[in-house]
Structure 1
Amino acid sequence: MGATKAVDVEDVNTDATEESQIDVVALGIVTAAILLFVATGSEIGPVIVRSLMERGPGPDNFILNAFLLNIAIIIFGWSRYRQLCDEIKLRKKAEREARRLAETDPLTGYRNRRSFNSGVAAMLAANNDEDRAVLLMMVDLDNFKQINDFNGHKIGDLLLQECARRITASLPGHALVGRIGGDEFAVALAFDRSHADQLDTITQTLVERMRQPIRAEALSLEVTASIGLARSDVGGFDDTPTDVRALLERADIAMYHAKRSGRDSYHWFAAPMADEMRFRAELENGIRQGVSRQEFVPFYEQQIDLQTGKLIGFEMLARWDSPKFGIVCPDLFIPIAEEIGAIADLSESVIAQALEDAKGWDPALTLSVNISPLQLRDPWFAQKLIKLLLEARFPPHRLEIEITESCLHENVGQVRSLITSLKNQGIKVSLDDFGTGYSSLAQLRSIPFDRIKIDRSFVSSLADNKESAAIVNSIALLGRGLELPVTAEGIENAAVLEQLLQYGDITGQGYFYGRPQPAREIGEWLNGVELVANRKFLESELPRIMQERDAAVSAVTENDAMPPADPALKPAKSA
């Protein structure tokens, strides 16, 4: 099996016809010279023979010179004819090579977008009947950009070439393949409608082959593919005819649906997907316009010292105050902003607003902000952040930057350099979402973090899940061992708080202390309260909880044994 890359039969036939015509003309000239040679030769030949035999006078000088000139013309004409043929072949070869380069992708040998579209148009015209139809497949590599950015273009090219070989090996020989984008391929395949079930088998085989690790210069690379499928015999979301453009659009919509559904899979086009794409386009356009209009605003979530109940700061959480969609949570717009390249401007705008808000708080309160992994790839990010601090005249020691564990997995060296630059200015840096499995103890020792934050997925299920309790307890012990403060995210009820109080000095945040609020409401609330949250709960329950914890520690000391990961202390009913 192997896909067709580029077909130039028609062009080759045209070139051959042109060469034949030129050959006939050149050969005709030589033939005419030969005929003239024969004519003059028949006239002058007998005269020369008689002259040599001394039976008559020699040939006329004019005729002799014409005869000799004719011989020279034949020799020169034949030589020129051969040269002309060679020149024509070289020129035609160069033209075919130029045409090939103009119509194919030099890296993979596949057709480029223009050539692929013309090939699909011809395929549609040849398979437009009741028995035959055309499948169009869009294949997009899921994490190619990340691999290309961190390993260089050479490795990226090797990866694309291997992916192209796998695509070719997965398709029938009559399939047409094109590379229409950096990491995007398109496949056109004519099929018998009575055997349409084979299309799923072909596509599933391709998905499985693409996910196999790829070796490139001693590196083991993992890449998957999201594939969208569309058929020429199945209508779209409107009454437009099924042409190349319509097929490409439908397959592209299905491909993006596969990406949003988890990647490493394929999906057939369905009409409702078009509505999703239109909604997505509206979001993208709204995000681009919203950044310049400052529609993205900061909300603030309280951060509490769990042992004392004292408010120590706020984490800034971005919200989109859209005139069309209302208040939009970051889970929806952050991934889109990252994909369309708007995340840096969006983040800087919201951080600038947050710095101005936090200037009016009690000087003891800190401000924490999340940073996108894409921003950490910017070598000038530290300088941009320091510029925002200077413009707002905000003390650097009150600002804490939160980065996720996935950033360490992507580029440890660059993150370490960035953190060092920030800390040299007095800015604190915390490791967010700790426990999701990317970082190692060696990285925690080598990178100067100021805090680790336990992922909310462990904290929210702490009270009724022993595994989560064991993980949280282990992270708390790790923090004490590394002398790093620990913050628990996702405290949503008193049961979770009671459990956390048993693990020592931990700060926390979550809906138990209130949902994130905009700057205006936070400012009014701070003017009317003490910096202590849930005072009633602390006054009634904290002494008992601490007494039970101290008793458990004393019992462990007397027995010279380690306490279990999940202490067998039944939490009392909260006030």
Structure 2
Amino acid sequence: MTAEPAVPKQWDRSEGARRDIVAGGIVVAAILLFIGNGGAVMQSVIRTLSGLGGGTDRMLAVALILNIALLLFGWRRYDDLNREVRERTEAEKRARWLADTDPLTGFLNRRALLNAGQALIAEATAKGRQVALFLLDLDHFKTVNDIHGHIAGDRVLQIAAERISAILPPSATKARLGGDEFVAMLAFEPVARADIDALAAQLVATLEAPVASDAQQIRIGGSLGIALAADAGVTMDTLVRQADIAMYHCKEKGRNRHIWFETGMEMAVQARNQIETGIRAGMPRGEFIPYFEPQVDIATGRLMGFEMLMRWDSPEHGMIPPERFIPIAEESGLIGELSLHVVRAALEVAKGWDPSITLAVNISPQQLKDPWFSQKLIKLLVETGFPPSQFEVEITESSLFENLPLVRSIVTSLKNQGVSLSLDDFGTGYSSLSHLRALPFDRIKIDRSFIAAMRGSADARAIVVAIIRLGESLAMPITAEGVEDEATAIELTRLGCAKGQGWFYGRAMSAADAADMLAERGLLRAPQTPRESSPAADTEWQRKAG
């Protein structure tokens, strides 16, 4: 049999205490012996030195030396115990600090905040004061991590914490809940609520300043929700939840602001959560379907293609328009999965169209933050067998500001597979001309707001004319959105606009209605047998994609 490995004996505090008692007893006895023996030995030494005695007793001398040794041992033990107590005290203080503190910012963590905050509420309300809880979320912080890396993200969090500390009074309780969420709590007199508003506005304004990181200027902002504790019955959990609701209400209103919590906001959040839950449950059930808006040649009225629009066919609420659920899908991070889900369905439908009919798909700005987006889209084209030459991706100008190099990589990959690119909502951004130079667009789409205002506004008409002339000089055809009457269509024809879409040409329709429209014009592809399909020329793009 092999011997079992020896198990180290664990430190027993009671055993240590017993040893300390024994050591203390030894020291006390040594002191008593030293007093008794030391006096006798010293007298003997004095008599010897004066010539009156016969020498020091050897036993007494040995006893004295032992006394001195025991005293030195006791002092050393005393010093060791003191050092151990100091180290243990420092370690306990460090452990408490680590348990209560966010190491990146030095603020309290969530657990410590809940304890300290509840105590602050009780203390303040007992004195007739109120407590404001700020919940601050940095805007677009995920983009900072995605584009600049987590080191830059940590730098942004530290700078944000420094700015928060600089603005808030020293008496404020400050915490980082996790991620990019910060909390601050302040007690104030009920008549001083305006001061809290001013402080919140100053805090939001301070966070707008760019953060320098590796020679780059990172711009952030903050959405700030405020909840009020007016009596001791309010719990920290309730207060944080209310401030969180107000903060999300801030984001819906445009970010970079502060809003106080109101009761009605909770109902809005519940409705939002229901929509998010419905999106998650509805995708596998096939509730999200493509609709198709016709795009025509303005001069001839010939049908040229369709733009895919998304609809939610809910069993409980009927047909839900995209403006109700797409913003929530973007906020919750579901838009990428949802969009590709509906695009796949649209591609399956469009396979039956004539090769002259194109399918255009508008891409969410959130999808252009995904480095793998072009591969995912090409994979859909391959799997459905839809020719990329009939496929057009529409990119809104506002989605190009955050990371132009990544967008350039995505659109170049799509162009290499034969996909067409359109710059959507042209004229609503900040640097349209630079984008036209930097990216290989095939078409420009004029935003519907200019088309709608064109007949009643000379400025809007001038903008439309300028965009059409710009397209001519760049050899980029122009598509006008929002054509809703014949007069507008005639004016656009006279100005030289190539393509149009809007209610005048037909509203967005289901796949079945789009098939009926194509059938009337003889633009449905005849069914092919396997032997008739897949010529080498049609599958070259598939080999490149693979």
TM-score, scaled to structure 1: 0.82
Match of residue 186, structure 1, among 163, 168, 183: 183
SS at match of 1:373: coil
Aligned equivalents of 1:208, 1:505: Cα separation in 2: 44
Is the alpha carbon distance of 1:109 and 1:378 closer, same or farther for their aligned partners in structure 2, counting shifts above 3 Å? same
Contact 1:408 1:438 in 2 (8 A): no
Q: 1:419-451, CA deviations, whole angstroms, 9 ceiling, x for partnerless residues?
A: 221122111111111111244434313321111
CA positional deviation for 1:296: 1.0
5 Å-filtered alignment, 1:335-350, equals 335-350=327-342
Aligned equivalents of 2:235, 2:58: Cα separation in 1: 77
Aligned equivalents of 1:35, 1:321: Cα separation in 2: 97
Residue aligning to 2:417: 425
CA positional deviation for 1:30: 5.3
CA positional deviation for 1:153: 2.9
Contact 2:311 2:320 in 1 (8 A): yes
Aligned equivalents of 2:187, 2:35: Cα separation in 1: 61
Residue aligning to 1:457: 449
CA positional deviation for 1:89: 2.2
Q: 1:504-547, CA deviations, whole angstroms, 9 ceiling, x for partnerless residues?
A: 1410111111211111222233223467xxxxxxxxxxxxxxxx
Residue aligning to 2:315: 323
Contact 1:23 1:85 in 2 (8 A): no
Instruction: In structure 2, give the amino acid aligned to 1:452.
Output: I
Contact 2:397 2:432 in 1 (8 A): no
Aligned equivalents of 2:421, 2:372: Cα separation in 1: 17
Match of residue 93, structure 1, among 84, 90, 95: 90
SS at match of 1:511: coil
Is the alpha carbon distance of 1:201 and 1:505 closer, same or farther for their aligned partners in structure 2, counting shifts above 3 Å? closer
Gaps of 5+ in 2: 1-18, 524-546
SS at match of 2:185: strand
Residue aligning to 2:378: 386
Aligned equivalents of 2:20, 2:306: Cα separation in 1: 85
Is the alpha carbon distance of 1:321 and 1:27 closer, same or farther for their aligned partners in structure 2, counting shifts above 3 Å? farther
Instruction: In structure 2, give the amino acid aligned to 1:261.
Output: K
Residue aligning to 1:371: 363
CA positional deviation for 1:252: 1.1
Contact 2:293 2:309 in 1 (8 A): yes
2:266 pairs with 1:274: yes
Aligned equivalents of 1:23, 1:338: Cα separation in 2: 67
SS at match of 1:107: coil
SS at match of 2:178: coil
Aligned equivalents of 1:69, 1:426: Cα separation in 2: 98
Residue aligning to 1:536: none
Is the alpha carbon distance of 1:302 and 1:28 closer, same or farther for their aligned partners in structure 2, counting shifts above 3 Å? farther
CA positional deviation for 1:28: 8.7
SS at match of 1:281: helix
Q: Quick check: 37-46 or 468-477, which moved more?
A: 37-46
Q: Quick check: 177-186 or 309-318, which moved more?
A: 177-186
Contact 2:443 2:477 in 1 (8 A): yes
Match of residue 481, structure 1, among 460, 470, 473: 473
Instruction: In structure 2, give the amino acid aligned to 1:156.
Output: G
Residue aligning to 2:107: 110
SS at match of 2:299: coil
Match of residue 59, structure 1, among 57, 60, 82: 57
Q: 1:528-567, CA deviations, whole angstroms, 9 ceiling, x for partnerless residues?
A: 3467xxxxxxxxxxxxxxxxxxxxxxxxxxxxxxxxxxxx
Residue aligning to 2:43: 46
2:198 pairs with 1:206: no
Is the alpha carbon distance of 1:520 and 1:33 closer, same or farther for their aligned partners in structure 2, counting shifts above 3 Å? farther
CA positional deviation for 1:217: 4.5
Match of residue 229, structure 1, among 226, 231, 240: 226
Is the alpha carbon distance of 1:37 and 1:291 closer, same or farther for their aligned partners in structure 2, counting shifts above 3 Å? farther
Is the alpha carbon distance of 1:482 and 1:189 closer, same or farther for their aligned partners in structure 2, counting shifts above 3 Å? same
Aligned equivalents of 2:433, 2:24: Cα separation in 1: 83
Instruction: In structure 1, give the amino acid aligned to 2:283.
Output: V
Is the alpha carbon distance of 1:47 and 1:209 closer, same or farther for their aligned partners in structure 2, counting shifts above 3 Å? same
Q: Quick check: 193-202 or 485-494, which moved more?
A: 193-202
Aligned equivalents of 1:503, 1:417: Cα separation in 2: 34
Q: RMSD in angstroms over aligned alpha carbons? A: 2.5
Q: Quick check: 43-52 or 75-84, which moved more?
A: 43-52
The number of residues matched between the two structures is 504
Instruction: In structure 1, give the amino acid aligned to 2:388.
Output: P
Instruction: In structure 1, give the amino acid aligned to 2:57.
Output: P
Q: 1:152-210, CA deviations, whole angstroms, 9 ceiling, x for partnerless residues?
A: 33333333222222222222221101011221110111222343432222222222323
Q: 1:392-425, CA deviations, whole angstroms, 9 ceiling, x for partnerless residues?
A: 1111111111111123212222222222211221
Residue aligning to 2:155: 158
Contact 1:321 1:327 in 2 (8 A): yes
Match of residue 298, structure 2, among 287, 306, 324: 306
CA positional deviation for 1:489: 0.9
Contact 2:479 2:497 in 1 (8 A): no
CA positional deviation for 1:45: 3.3
SS at match of 1:302: strand
CA positional deviation for 1:88: 3.0
Q: 1:4-46, CA deviations, whole angstroms, 9 ceiling, x for partnerless residues?
A: xxxxxxxxxxxxxxxxxx9999989756643442233234433
CA positional deviation for 1:358: 0.6
CA positional deviation for 1:369: 0.8
Instruction: In structure 2, give the amino acid aligned to 1:149.
Output: D
Q: Quick check: 75-84 or 286-295, which moved more?
A: 75-84
Aligned equivalents of 2:240, 2:436: Cα separation in 1: 47
Contact 2:44 2:53 in 1 (8 A): no
Gaps of 5+ in 1: 1-21, 236-240, 532-575
Residue aligning to 2:13: none
Match of residue 81, structure 2, among 72, 84, 90: 84
Residue aligning to 1:69: 66
CA positional deviation for 1:147: 3.2
Aligned equivalents of 2:189, 2:26: Cα separation in 1: 54
Q: Quick check: 204-213 or 419-428, which moved more?
A: 204-213
CA positional deviation for 1:499: 1.9
Contact 1:298 1:354 in 2 (8 A): yes
Match of residue 239, structure 2, among 243, 247, 253: 247
Aligned equivalents of 1:250, 1:26: Cα separation in 2: 60
Residue aligning to 2:133: 136
SS at match of 2:495: coil
Aligned equivalents of 1:389, 1:115: Cα separation in 2: 52
Instruction: In structure 2, give the amino acid aligned to 1:493.
Output: D
5 Å-filtered alignment, 1:11-22, equals none
Instruction: In structure 2, give the amino acid aligned to 1:477.
Output: R
Aligned equivalents of 1:434, 1:255: Cα separation in 2: 31
Residue aligning to 2:9: none
Aligned equivalents of 1:97, 1:157: Cα separation in 2: 23
Residue aligning to 1:490: 482
Residue aligning to 2:541: none
Instruction: In structure 1, give the amino acid aligned to 2:81.
Output: L
Aligned equivalents of 1:282, 1:401: Cα separation in 2: 31
CA positional deviation for 1:306: 0.2
Q: 1:312-363, CA deviations, whole angstroms, 9 ceiling, x for partnerless residues?
A: 0000011111223322222222221122221121111101100111112222
Match of residue 149, structure 1, among 139, 146, 153: 146
Q: Quick check: 87-96 or 321-330, which moved more?
A: 87-96
Aligned equivalents of 2:261, 2:370: Cα separation in 1: 37
Residue aligning to 1:14: none
